[in-house]
Amino acid sequence: MMLRRKLLIASSLALIVGLAACTGPGAVYDRPNSHFDYPNSNVTDLTNGVPITRKKEVTSLSSKVGDVDLEQRLVADILAEKGGDILINPKYEWKSRMYPVGITIYVTTLTVTSYVGKMTPGHQVRMENRNNDCR
């Protein structure tokens, strides 16, 4: 009887906490690339024209939406996985959920969708005759 009562209380508490979860802050943004691309570099797509998507989830006592360290860790993981140097046209999507259980616990999810590129130095073609003659 006592075990049954404890299970009922625990399941009721879990249901209340689950129903009390709220959507917290979030953001979605695009960037042209993840790193500085060298002028005149040749960029090769390592994803064969299909963007990849990776997620990272963090639990903390404050919202981590926009956390630069979390973003850079996920970018580094993606680049290491594919052997690339740069993310091309990445889309960053941040979501956060709040769970008020005496204190508020945040679960922040970052999803990055992008192409991965490999940069190789290019060769600049120099023009010997650089005058501004308008003929």
The CATH class of 21-120 is: alpha beta
- Round to whole Å and give the CA distance between 104 and 60: 9
Torsion sign over Cα 117, 119, 125, 131? positive
Q: Compute the average pLDDT of residues 75-86.
A: 92
Q: Which amino acid is at 14?
A: A
- β-sheet bridge partners, residue 63: none
Q: What predicted TM-score, i.e. pTM, was given to this entire model?
A: 0.69
CB neighbours of residue 41 within 10 Å: 15
Lowest-confidence pick of 34-38, 84-88, 105-109:
34-38
Closest CA to 57 of 17, 96, 23: 96
Share of the chain above pLDDT 70, in %: 79
